[in-house]
Amino acid sequence: MTLEFSFPDYSSHPDFDNHEKILKIEDRALGLKAFIAIHSTQLGPARGGCRYWSSYANEDEALKDALRLSRGMTYKNTLAGLPHGGGKTVIMGVPGTATPTRDIMLAIGHALNELDGIYETGEDVGTSQDDFLIAREITEHVRIRDPHGDMNPYMAGDDPSPYTAHGIYCGIKAALKHKFGNDNVAGFRFAVKGLGHVSTPLCETLHRNGAELFVSDIDDKKVQYAVTNWGATPIEPDKIMSQDVDVYCPCALGGDVNPETIHFLQAKIVAGAANNQLSGPDMARQLFERGILYAPDYAINAGGVINVVMTGIPKDIVMYRVTGIYNTLLKIFQRSDKEGKDTAEIADTIVEERLAGTFQIRNADKASTIKNSA
């Protein structure tokens, strides 16, 4: 390996948000280029997944993803009441390859050691548990599912997808309650873009409880499964957002709601699994002005990270904690109405208030320690 580590100054980047550290990783022999962005460790060590994606057009796209996703993890962990900050690893995949090689994962292990424990990562888009078993040969700073989670049906720490899906379902119910006064999903129409590990159990729950589904995915087999098992109506991916439904669920990649697509929306609610569903904060304001209720992504999809942090705790306790997403979102919606601000701004404000309160407490503790030792 000919690994190169550097900490460039990206403070002028439009998505830089006072990130604490940004590690750039390169190995020309491996064809490796990756970023680890640490947004905050104020509440505790940063947590956030490792993404391998071969469709980045250039380095700036990968950096943008790392910056935005790491910030999102800080906000997700803080809003969920977890003692962790946010970070993200983004690997620029080799074109035509869907997963990282063994050497790339060993290189990521070395990179994590460079950060000396302020950040831990685990599986995300394009990476798997097996990849982190490789990285663990080099570093202890990886999150591997608790092996007892797969063997013990009562303990958390296994696949985070069902927990994420449950949280999104609870968040959808909160949105329906706020918008329509009724949180029973029966009879409501849902357009779901992307049928992955999270949206599949979400759709199963929606169908089981009487919802009508319209679905799209680039994988025809997944769409056919939805048609056969849930009575879903198949829709082309470029038409799913324009369906006349009650709830639009973006469950694919980020930036789905953007200046080119927002005018297609007919739904009254946007609530889904994807990270960074909006291309920018101006989209949240436009949704608010059009009367479309937006469930901030990092608030509604926090179930998975709650499960990871609570590994080894009985599943029913973890699920109960995830159910709290319902009340979290109701408070965001109600405060949005009261203050006349969009829900994304309100969610950010709540996080910033919590972080500011923690900062003040730490400063007070530090001042007390200095005074007592004088």
- Which is nearest to 50 in space by CA: 61, 65, 64? 65
The region that residue 215 occupies, defined by phi over 0 for left and psi between -120 and 50 for alpha, beta otherwise, is beta
- In this structure, are residues 1 and 23 in contact, taking their beta carbons and an 8 Å threshold? no
CA atoms of 223 and 206, how far apart (whole Å): 16
Tokens of 116: 């000396």
pLDDT at 372: 45
Which stretches of the chain score pLDDT less than 70? 1, 145-158, 358-374
From CA 59, how far away is CA 38, in angstroms rounded? 18
User: What confidence score (pLDDT) does residue 370 get?
Assistant: 34
Give the model's pLDDT for residue 365.
44
Distances (CA, A) of 374 to 310, 361, 362, 367, 370: 40, 20, 18, 11, 6
Domains of the chain: which residue ranges?
A: 4-144, 161-347
CATH code of domain 161-347? 3.40.50.720
| Per-residue tokens: 85 | 């900050």
> Measured between alpha carbons, how far is 112 from 247 in angstroms, rounded to an integer?
40
Would you tell me how many other CB atoms lie within 10 Å of the CB of residue 16? 17
Going 206 to 208 to 214 to 215, the CA torsion angle's sign is positive
Closest alpha carbon to 281 in 85, 84, 17: 17
Tokens representing 333 are 């919606």
Altogether, the residues listed in the chain come to a count of 374
Tokens of 69: 């996703």
Q: b/e string for 194-205 if b means 16 or more Cβ within 10 A?
A: bbbebbbbbbbb
Q: How far apart are CA 182 and CA 14, in angstroms?
A: 40
> In this predicted structure, what is the pLDDT of residue 153?
54
Question: Any alpha helices (H) in the chain, and if so which ranges?
Answer: 59-79, 102-114, 129-135, 147-151, 161-180, 199-208, 220-230, 281-289, 297-300, 303-309, 315-323, 325-339, 343-373
**Domain 4-144 matches domain 161-347 at the CATH topology level:** yes
Residue among 38, 43, 46 at smallest CA distance from 20? 38
For strands 269-270 and 247-250, give the pairing: parallel
| 181 Ramachandran zone, left/alpha/beta (phi>0; psi -120 to 50) | left
Q: Which residues of 239-278 are buried (b: 16+ CB within 10 A; e: fewer)?
A: ebbbbebbbbbbbbbbbbbeeeebeebebbbbbbbbbbbb
Residue 361 confidence (pLDDT) = 45
| Residues in a beta bridge with 22 | 37
**pTM for this prediction:** 0.81
Catalytic residue ranges: 88
Residue that the structure tokens 């101006």 belong to: 282
Report the pLDDT value the prediction gives residue 157, as an integer from 0 to 100.
61
* Cα–Cα distance for residue pair 101/259, rounded to 1 Å: 37
Distance (Å, rounded) from C-alpha 14 to C-alpha 16? 6
Top-level class of domain 4-144? alpha beta
